[in-house]
Amino acid sequence: MNRVRVVVALAGALTLTPIPATAATPAFSLSGGVSAPIHSMADAVRETVYVDSGLDLDGDGTRDRVTADIIRPSTTGRVPVIMEASPYYQSAGRGNESEVKTYDSAGVPVKFPLFYDNYFVPRGYAVVLVDFLGTNRSRGCVDVGGQSEIASGTAVIDWLNGRRTGYTTLSGTTTKTASWSTGAVGMIGKSWDGSIANGVASTGIDGLKTIVPIAAISSWYDWFRSDGVAYPSYSSPTGLGSQFENSNARSRCGAVRTQMTNGSPANGDYTAMWQARDFVRNASRVKASIFAVHGQNDLNVKTLQFGQFWDAVPAAVPKKLWFSQTAHVDPFDFRRGEWVATLHRWFDRWLLNVPNGIENEPQVSAERAPNQWADDEKWPPAGTVGTVLRPSASGLGTTPGTGTAVFTDNGNATPSTWLSGSNTGRVIYSTAPLTSDLRVAGTSSITVSVSSSTPTAHLTAYLIDYGPAQVRTGEGIRTLTTESCWGESRTGDDACYRDTEATSGEVDAQIIARGWADLANYSSLSTPRTITPGTKYSMTFRLSTTDHVLPVGHRLGLLIGGTDSSAIVRPSQLPKLTVDLAGTTVRIPLAGSVPSASADQLTATSVSAGTTSKLG
């Protein structure tokens, strides 16, 4: 393997040589406006604390302890904490190379997954990696977004701030304090790990200064369901959680698993269990700054997850956003140098109180083509207006339609078959070619007035950019054989990771937003209604969040269909659907001139349709 060793403070810059820690060594020191690597990883303190979570979900009569592995600089000064909480540290691993935690024969942590420890510990940060309750070395139960998960984060933050008791062992009585901690915590994580960051932030806990949720969930209902219809990935949180339980949880947490199964009915109803796992409803409590990252082609954790949380957080909370063309990919693997440099400054600002002004810089950076990024001061950008467009026989425009459109759901359509024209179980409407660029930035919704020939009907809607483009394909990256290094290596934990490059190709159509629904939930997500065949119903459902520019000459399209077999389960009886055009509208956040309508029939031979991958 070819190895290119690069250690950076900012992208492309050399670090200072670490110096041995002494009683006089400060907790951190600035060089060039950022924290410099003044501590040695060789003598970093590695330890574990077992924190009282306040819960006894496994029912053993003893309050569950959550395990946190710590690596921190050897200094007499107090240091802030970068924290990641995860269920993946033992079985699935973290990052593109699936790194897991390792321990020596005495149980002292050796390997800390990802580059955070290698890069940030020398710069005056502690890194704390928390095992979700019920996973790896923690007690308790896995409850997939519930109180166990939130307590896994809040308990450790409380301990770091002297508000909760920690112990030296999993079951002993000897206590342990965090006298080395400033109490300032930043939570980071991709996918499930980032979801707990959202959840903990929504409690408003003191001490949490910032979160960096990457491809993160904000509502677990919206990961398993979409406006009443189920995604086929997992029928219940029980199936997901059981993959990561430790032996104690497997033997003692049957009651928790039953509660999750009963609270997640297959018909897609929104229940009290889902409400308890909806962090958006408590987003008004968020005080921590937010640096969100999401891939526009992520069909695992869909972009609606970040969009709805972003919109619900108080306006006064400092926020930053990176919006890539990738699928479910960490920014370390699609924009590595810029990511490390930006994350470095972000943590310096919110955890070390370095006045570097990053919160005053452009709020959003969006990828317009592979490795081509554009910045905006605010997001959604100035001039974005929620615009109502209407499908009609003339195409997609501002004039209400008349009459009906009819199609039959065959239950096996995919985005590619629908857009190529080889599947007729949908209708498509488009604007005329654009005379100026048109930007879609935010979360759209569609209202469909429709009748079904059967008592069961599922619906799909897409927004489509028709026109040639160079885009990332598949997951959006390819892993190479070379490596680059980001921080200081030490025995058992090196700082080197395999490089990646963009995977790209030419397409003539892109799905830029999508949504799905069960018509039975037309009036309520919590209580489905009986569908009477031939009776017209009106249902409004959400499309995914996007930031996409349609260039001059392209067309904006709207597809309305039945079952998208790549995303949702099919109804028990496949229907013929009749759409009342006069009652059907789509509300899109647009910046630019509202396009005119076109009745042209559009098909695409090469389609960018997004990628589904595992949650991690």
Mean pLDDT of the chain: 93
Model confidence at 7, pLDDT cuts 50, 70, 90, reads very low
- For the chain, how many structural domains are there in total? 1
| Rounded Cα–Cα distance for residues 360 and 345 (Å) | 12
> Quick one: tokens of 354?
């370095």
pLDDT (0 to 100) of residue 26 = 85
Quick check: is 328 catalytic?
A: yes
In sequence order, the 6+-apart residues with CB closer than 8 A to the CB of 170 are 50, 65, 67, 137, 139
Q: What is the CATH number of the domain that holds 595?
A: 2.60.120.260
Segments forming the whole domain that contains residue 516:
385-470+508-608
The residue-averaged pLDDT of 42-57 equals 98
HSE-up of 249 (CA within 13 Å, CB side)? 28
- Residue 15: pLDDT above 90? no
pLDDT (0 to 100) of residue 14 = 34
Quick check: is 298 catalytic?
A: yes
Lowest mean pLDDT, pick from 120-134, 308-322, 596-610: 596-610
Proportion of the chain above pLDDT 70, given as a percent = 94
Note whether 53 and 63 are within 8 A (CB).
Answer: yes
pLDDT (0 to 100) of residue 420 = 87
| Rounded Cα–Cα distance for residues 327 and 611 (Å) | 6
Dihedral of alpha carbons 401, 406, 409, 410, sign: negative
Catalytic residue of the set 328, 344, 548, 554: 328
Q: For residue 584, is it within any domain?
A: yes
Return the residue matching tokens 């990511």: 339
DSSP state of 204: T
Dihedral of alpha carbons 339, 154, 117, 190, sign: negative
Q: For residue 442, is it within any domain?
A: yes
Note whether 61 and 89 are within 8 A (CB).
Answer: no
- Burial letters 369-389, b for 16+ CB under 10 A, else e: ebeebeebeebbbeebeebeb
Helices 192-201/147-160 angle, 10° precision = 70
- Residue 24: pLDDT above 60? no
pLDDT in tens, 389-430: 999 999 999 999 999 999 999 999 999 999 987 667 999 999
Which of 398, 453, 480, 446 has the alpha carbon at shortest distance from 559?
A: 446
Q: Give 59 or 616, the one with higher predicted confidence.
A: 59
Quick check: is 39 catalytic?
A: no
- Residue 611: pLDDT above 70? no
Return the residue matching tokens 């933050």: 157
- Residue 8: pLDDT above 60? no
Distance in angstroms between the alpha carbons of the first and the last residue of the chain? 26
Catalytic residue of the set 191, 324, 430, 566: 191
In sequence order, the 6+-apart residues with CB closer than 8 A to the CB of 361 are none
Q: For residue 38, is it within any domain?
A: no
pLDDT (0 to 100) of residue 601 = 65
pLDDT (0 to 100) of residue 613 = 59
Q: For residue 182, is it within any domain?
A: no
Lowest mean pLDDT, pick from 101-105, 180-184, 248-252, 602-606: 602-606
pLDDT in tens, 135-177: 999 999 999 999 999 999 999 999 999 999 999 999 999 999 9
Q: For residue 529, is it within any domain?
A: yes
pLDDT (0 to 100) of residue 11 = 36
Q: For residue 330, is it within any domain?
A: no
Catalytic residue of the set 117, 278, 298, 493: 298
Question: Distance of CA 118 to CAs 37, 126, 239, Å?
Answer: 10, 11, 35
- Residue 599: pLDDT above 70? yes
**H or E segment and range at residue 90:** none
Q: For residue 315, is it within any domain?
A: no
Proportion of the chain above pLDDT 90, given as a percent = 90
